[in-house]
C-alpha cells in the first residue's frame, strides 16, 4: 500500500483536504475531486462527523486512496483505521501514532517543522513526512535546507500552499506532493458549487504538470 500511495502521489502531486460535518456533503466533495483527477483524499478530523465522513468516502470510493488528516493520538489513529483510512497524516510527530500505523502496515506522514523533529522521524524509520505549517516555517527555503541534509526524505508541505506558490514548492526535488485546503473552498461547498471544486482540481494538476 505504501508503494502504491507514493506512486499515486508522485503522479498527482496534490492532496486535497476534505472537511465536512455531513457525510452526504463529504461524498459530493470527494466525487468532485475525483472527477477533477485527484484520487488521494485526506479527510481531516476537524468536525464531530469527521469519522462518519471518512467511513462513507472509503466505502463509496474504494478505488481512491482515502486517508485521515489532523490525527492527534494513537486512539484517533486506531479509530481512523477502523473506519477505512489507508493512510494517516498528522500535524506533528507522535511516536505512539507512528507505532499504530506501523502495526497496521499503513503509511503515516507526520508533521515536522524543525530539523530536530525530522531527525526523530528519520530515526523512527520514516522517509516521508509533512512540513507543517509550511508557509510559517520557511516554505521552499526550509524544504531546500532540510532536504540537503536528509537526502533520502520526501516531503508533503501543507499550510499556506496555494495555486500561486504550488509550482515553486513542486520544483524542489524532495517534494513528493503538496497538501492544501484551497481545493475545497468553504464558500463553494456552502453554495453547492461542486463543479468549482472539480475545476480547482484540474487546475492544480495542470500547474503540477506544467
DSSP line for 131-173: ETTTTTTTHHHHHHHHHHHSTT-EE--BSS--TTTHHHHHTST
Please report the pLDDT score of residue 5 as a whole number.
Answer: 87
Q: Give mean pLDDT, residues 44-69.
A: 98
Q: What is the mean pLDDT of the chain?
A: 97
CATH of domain 2-118+178-204: 3.20.20.70
Would you say residue 96 has pLDDT above 90?
yes
In the predicted model, what is the mean pLDDT of residues 138-156? 98
Query: How many angstroms separate the CA atoms of 49 and 19, rounded?
Result: 9
The C-alpha angle with vertex 206 and arms to 176 and 146, in degrees rounded to 5, equals: 25
What pLDDT, on the 0 to 100 scale, is given for residue 178? 98
31 in active site:
no
At 166-188, the pLDDT tens digits run: 999 999 999 999 999 999 999 99
pLDDT band of residue 1 (cuts 50, 70, 90) is low
pLDDT at 4 over 90: no
Whole-number percent of the chain with pLDDT over 70: 100
pLDDT over 90 at 155, yes or no: yes
Rg (CA), the chain: 16
In the structure, what pLDDT confidence band is assigned to residue 108 with cuts at 50, 70 and 90? very high
From the list 28, 59, 60, 130, the catalytic residue is: 130
Amino acid 42: pLDDT: 98
What's the pLDDT score for residue 137?
97
Over residues 46-60, mean pLDDT: 98
**Using CA atoms, how far apart are residues 87 and 109, in angstroms rounded to an integer?**
8
pLDDT category of residue 6 using cuts at 50, 70 and 90: confident
Catalytic residue among 4, 28, 31, 42: 42
Three-state DSSP class for 30? helix
Active site residue 168: no
Amino acid at each position: 500500500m505504501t508503494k502504491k500511495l507514493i506512486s499515486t502521489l508522485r503522479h498527482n502531486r496534490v492532496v486535497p483536504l476534505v472537511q465536512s460535518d455531513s457525510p452526504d456533503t463529504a461524498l459530493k466533495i470527494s466525487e468532485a475531486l475525483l472527477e477533477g483527477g485527484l484520487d488521494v483524499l485526506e479527510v481531516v478530523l476537524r468536525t464531530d462527523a469527521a469519522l462518519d465522513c471518512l467511513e462513507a468516502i472509503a466505502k463509496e470510493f474504494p478505488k481512491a486512496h482515502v486517508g485521515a488528516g489532523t490525527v492527534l493520538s494513537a486512539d484517533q489513529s486506531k479509530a481512523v483505521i477502523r473506519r477505512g483510512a489507508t493512510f494517516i497524516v498528522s500535524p506533528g510527530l507522535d511516536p505512539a501514532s507512528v507505532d499504530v500505523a506501523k502495526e497496521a502496515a499503513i503509511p503515516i506522514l507526520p508533521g515536522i517543522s524543525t530539523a530536530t523533529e525530522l531527525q526523530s522521524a528519520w530515526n523512527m524509520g520514516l522517509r516521508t513526512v509533512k512540513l507543517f505549517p509550511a508557509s510559517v516555517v520557511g516554505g521552499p527555503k526550509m524544504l531546500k535546507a532540510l532536504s540537503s541534509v536528509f537526502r533520502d526524505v520526501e516531503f508533503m508541505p501543507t499550510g499556506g500552499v496555494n495555486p500561486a506558490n504550488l509550482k515553486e514548492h513542486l520544483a524542489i526535488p524532495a517534494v513528493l506532493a503538496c497538501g492544501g485546503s484551497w481545493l475545497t473552498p468553504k464558500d463553494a461547498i456552502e453554495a453547492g458549487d461542486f463543479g468549482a471544486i472539480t475545476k480547482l482540481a484540474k487546475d492544480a494538476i495542470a500547474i503540477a504538470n506544467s
